[in-house]
Structure 1
Amino acid sequence: MTKYRREPISRGWTIAGLVVVAVVAVALVIAAVLRNHAAAASGTAAPLPSFTDASPSATPTATPTPTHTPIDRAAERFFAVAPDALWRATAGQCGKTEPVVERSTDRGQTWTDVTPHYRDIAQVASLDQIAAHAAAMVTELGDDCTPTGIRTFTDGRFWEPFDAVIDDAHYLSFTDAAKVISPDGYYAAPCDDAHGLRAAGDIEAVICDGTAYERSADEWVPLPQKNALAVAVFSGDLYVASVGEKDCEGIAVTRLADADPAKSESAGCAADATAKGTIAIGPSSFGTFVWSADAVILVKP
């Protein structure tokens, strides 16, 4: 029987085999590249690799919110015009700042202090003229800050409590500027820091951060005048004092006939008046008085 002996594979054949494998691998890579080029040429994009970005995303820069300086309620002003005199008052704040009530018989050139100190007046929420030699106020009296209506028929020399004054009034709450007190109860003002509320008959208006609002059908409606400073009601018309009007470098007064924004017209310009601080206006049949800083200026259309 013939026996066969397995011969060892020579080193040369081993090296040749490795070369063949390498050549095949290179050929496969070249084929893949050619396919990608062909796909790009035909408009079919090869899938893109995805990556995970471990870096945190950029935080957007916050837009600064305009700051609003709250109204100093103690410095709030009230103004009323009677046929024989002008009346004005600062609100004060119960337990902190005493209000001041004054009367003028020379159209604001000089003033007489008629503050009812003997009544322990602590704060004022409204001021109205009611007849010749007469005015009425919604106030707080005494150390316990009791809301009380008072009136005078003696040019302010003597004041007496009178329930109807406060029972029929619309005014901002003494302790909460976001609340309006009315004969039917209370309701919300158009903002938390309302001021300058004025009401007469069916007309009611207030200021919130430079915007005047009129109450209509139990809703507050913003009026078109920009940078409003004060409002007032006279003879069924609504008046708005504002700054920034193109034809007035000082404080402009606009009359809204029948309290209708569509019926607005200029009621005058207090060119030398300053808008700094709290102001008040008092319209009348012979013009509108603008109480600004220490001056009272009469303007006419």
Structure 2
Amino acid sequence: MQQIVAMDVVTADQVDLVALTGPSCEPTVLTTFTGGQFWEAYPERLVEQSYIDVGDPAVVVISGTDVPSPCSMPLELSQSAEGDAVRCSDGVFAYSASTRTWQPITTLALRGFSWLDSGDGGLAPEIIGGVADSSDCAGLQLFTFDAAGADFAGRAWGCAPVEGSSSISIATGPTAIWVWTGDRTAVSGDDGETWNTF
């Protein structure tokens, strides 16, 4: 394996990776059903995956189909049953499979983002992302955004006590949200009111 370009945590035991493998760095799907103990290649499942084409960042692969990116250098892609969204330096864009167009969600320069878990194990049609250097937050200010682009300014969700200037990853689950940056992780189980860090 040369490089991991996308990851989808399906269950506690199943994780799907889109990875570049072999001497020619061809993309394939690697899946574990044993929590990472054993992995198997499923190249035929590439048609189900969405990821940024690292060979040509101006192209985003959406469910196996090449689509022009909404920006020249996409930073991050988040895939869910609700759809696919891309984070760029000038905002976040969600892809509509029906119209084959990108819908702007926010023009804020987010430091990380994810689809928001609805709380019942499913994903709500909302995106959560972080903004550094907010006057109201000494760490990373989190906002939620309607995936239809109805509220570009977003709604303040909580202040994660992490350094906001480095690389950031955000993930959500039915009972908590995780924010990673460097060697620090912050977890909130009460909609950003309080945080545990480790």
TM-score bucket of the superposed structures, by smaller chain? 0.7 to 0.9
1:232-257 deviation digits (Å, cap 9, x = unpaired): 12313322222244432221222235
Contact persistence 2:106–2:145 (CA under 8 A): no
Give 1:292 deviation, angstroms: 0.8
Task: State which of 84, 109, 121 in structure 2 corresponds to 1:227.
Answer: 109
Alignment of 1:1-301 (within 5 A): 121-163=1-43, 165-183=45-63, 185-216=65-96, 217-224=99-106, 226-233=108-115, 234=117, 235-236=123-124, 237-257=126-146, 259-262=147-150, 264-271=154-161, 273-299=162-188, 300-301=191-192
Query: What is the CA distance between 1:125 and its match in structure 2?
Result: 1.3
Which amino acid is 1:221 matched to? Q
Q: What code does the residue aligned with 1:176 have?
A: D
Q: CA 1:149–1:288 in structure 2 vs 1: closer, same or farther (change >3 Å)?
A: same
Give me the whole-angstrom Cα distance separating, in 1, the residues matched to 2:88 and 2:48.
24
Amino acid at match of 2:178: F
CA 1:297–1:164: 2 relative to 1, 3 Å:
farther
Cα distance between partner residues in 2 of 1:191 and 1:180: 10
| Number of residue pairs aligned between Structure 1 and Structure 2 | 179
Aligned 8 A contact 1:267 1:288 in 2: no
Amino acid at match of 1:127: M
Structure ranking higher in helix proportion: 1
Distance 1:246 1:210 in 2: 20
Distance 1:224 1:181, change over 3 A: closer
Identity %: 23
TM-score calculated relative to the size of structure 1: 0.54
Alpha carbons 1:136, 1:149 under 8 Å: kept: yes
Q: TM-score when scaled to structure 2? A: 0.80
CA distance in 2, matches of 1:164, 1:130: 18
Q: Distance in 2 between matches of 1:127 and 1:181?
A: 14
Q: Secondary structure at the match of 2:141?
A: strand
* CA spacing shift, 1:224–1:182, aligned 2, 3 Å: closer
* Secondary structure of 1:248's aligned partner: coil
Q: How far apart are 1:278 and its partner, in Å? A: 2.1
Superposed CA offset, 1:140-165 (max 9, x none):
11222121101001111111012354
Structure 2, unaligned runs of 5 or more: 118-122, 193-198
User: Aligned-pair RMSD on alpha carbons?
Assistant: 2.1
What is the DSSP-based 3-state SS (H/G/I as helix, E as strand, rest coil) of the residue aligned with 1:139?
A: strand
Query: Where do 5+ consecutive residues of structure 1 fail to align?
Result: 1-120
Q: Could you give the per-residue CA deviations for residues 186-213 of structure 1, whole angstroms, max 9, x where no partner exists?
A: 1111111111111212422112114222
Larger Rg computed on CA atoms: 1
SS at match of 1:276: coil
SS in 2 for 1:252: strand
| Paired residues of 1:138 and 1:165 also in contact (CA < 8 A) | no
Per-residue deviation, 1:171: 0.7
Deviations 1:6-61 (A, max 9, x none): xxxxxxxxxxxxxxxxxxxxxxxxxxxxxxxxxxxxxxxxxxxxxxxxxxxxxxxx
Confirm or deny: 8 A CA contact 2:93 2:106 kept in the other structure.
no
SS at 2:2's partner residue?
strand
Contact 1:205-1:231 within 8 A present in 2 as well: no
Give the number of the structure with larger relative contact order, counting CA–CA contacts within 8 Å between residues 6 or more apart. Answer: 2
